[in-house]
Chains A and B, each alone.
Chain A
């Protein structure tokens, strides 16, 4: 089993440094949330790990089988739900079976033949999740996947994610700017901040999931009392 290891990863756009020597390690099967203010380089980091951008320095070691859920669902409008998932699977009956199972696991067993244009925003995101689950990834990357969904839909999809993760024991890196979401999901939260971005704080969470809203609110209050500027990317030293 491989987790994920980043050593001294630097990335610059032209003369602007975005990531300044970032170190990050995920144990196999660990669920880590990456939290930071908008535009701090979280999405850039995911693109480097996913191999979509190879123009960086430093070292990235990731598992071979990769799944990813983007900010937008990014489905092919000309393929129905089943074919969208089959696109990333081996051809033939085996691929069809796995695609169907993945779509059923996100509750879309009845919508296999529907085109993305016929599905709601939440259903499209479910297809995108099913597509990532179906490849049985060793490493799953999620880039603010539930943003712009209504709260109950987002909550259902988070529960689905936890269910899938428990069954698969894949390593998960989940990018979000929503601290409450991170507190509900993660084994460990890594806070990014500064320009260029670096790790400002790491927080391990041991409370069992699902974590009720009161617990999440309590955790958030404690954290922000110690680091009032955490969400704008600053932590107090010694905190």
Chain B
């Protein structure tokens, strides 16, 4: 087992190395002006880190990502469970959910800015509205799959509602919550950048817009890479260990 694990780790690192080599090769072939090499981008990240600009914009973007992530997870979970629980509500709202899934992110963003104003609330609202339908669909599926037989155990033994929720109900929803969280994080940060580009004067998306107008490719790559690395770190050091911990019982 141990050798197998370390072998897969070697391959994982090799794949990152390969990406760097390809990037460098492509940069030589295309010329530095079109595609700056990894070294130039790394230097730029260092400089932007040193001046404090990159951390400031990263923090703002990350804050928006977290706020809309938490809101979408909460609203989507409650709505998904409610739809699974009450079929009549489901028939009423199912069409809206499908509609919500298919409205382009751009439309929600533009309409939120027009109706609510060019402010922080509109930005977070737009991202939340984009993500919520996918959470609803996943959690509705999860709530429908809940084992009624286990809930009956809680009923027969008069387990208090709070404890039943924590120990009987939510553990069954956990795989669906985790799936929603992982796909959610990947989707949300992409939408947040668009939201920032269209109507905010700070954040990674705003900076990318600026670099686009200046044709500053090194800047674009530096900010993108910095943020992508941050998301990969959250996934690898927060979500995946959490999942392992919570599904320990699956042997």
Which residues of A approach B to under 8 Å, CB–CB?
50-52, 66-68, 70, 72, 74, 76-80, 83, 87-88, 91, 115, 117-118, 131, 135
Interface centre among B155, B157, B159 (most CB of A within 10 A): B157
Whether the pair B171, A70 counts as a contact (CB closer than 8 A) is: no
- B150: Cβ under 8 A from any A Cβ: yes
User: What would 29 A/B residue contacts be, using CB atoms closer than 8 Å?
Assistant: A50-B156, A52-B155, A52-B156, A68-B153, A68-B157, A70-B153, A74-B149, A74-B150, A76-B167, A76-B168, A77-B249, A78-B171, A78-B247, A78-B249, A79-B167, A79-B249, A87-B154, A87-B157, A87-B163, A87-B167, A87-B168, A88-B157, A88-B159, A115-B249, A115-B251, A117-B250, A117-B251, A118-B251, A131-B157
**Secondary structure class of chain A's binding surface, majority of residues:** loop
**CB-nearest residue of chain A relative to B168?**
A76
Chain A residues, Cβ within 8 Å of B152 = 52, 70, 74
CB distance from B28 to the nearest CB of A (A): 53
Q: How far is the CA of A74 from the CA of B148 in the complex (A)?
A: 10
- Residue of B156, B163, B247 near A68 (CB, 8 A) is B156
Map CB proximity to A onto B63-96 as digits: 1 under 8 Å, 0 otherwise. Answer: 0000000000000000000000000000000000
Interface centre among B150, B152, B168, B171 (most CB of A within 10 A): B152
Map CB proximity to A onto B139-163 as digits: 1 under 8 Å, 0 otherwise. Answer: 0000000000110111111110001
A-B pairs with lowest CB-CB distance, top 3: A88-B157, A78-B171, A115-B249
Whether the pair A76, B171 counts as a contact (CB closer than 8 A) is: yes
Map CB proximity to A onto B166-177 as digits: 1 under 8 Å, 0 otherwise. Answer: 011001000000
Q: How far is the CA of A80 from the CA of B249 in the complex (A)?
A: 8
Chain B residues, Cβ within 8 Å of A50 = 156
Whether the pair A135, B168 counts as a contact (CB closer than 8 A) is: no
Knowing that A74-B149, A76-B168, A88-B159 are A-B contacts, what are 19 other residue pairs whose CB atoms are under 8 Å apart, sorted by A's residue number?
A: A52-B152, A66-B156, A66-B157, A67-B157, A68-B156, A70-B152, A70-B153, A72-B149, A74-B152, A76-B153, A77-B250, A79-B167, A79-B249, A87-B167, A88-B157, A115-B251, A117-B250, A117-B251, A131-B157
Give B164-189 interface residues, CB cut-off 8 Å to A. 167-168, 171
Map CB proximity to A onto B234-251 as digits: 1 under 8 Å, 0 otherwise. Answer: 000000000000010111
Chain A residues, Cβ within 8 Å of B149 = 70, 72, 74
CB distance from B242 to the nearest CB of A (A): 14
Chain B residues, Cβ within 8 Å of A78 = 171, 247, 249
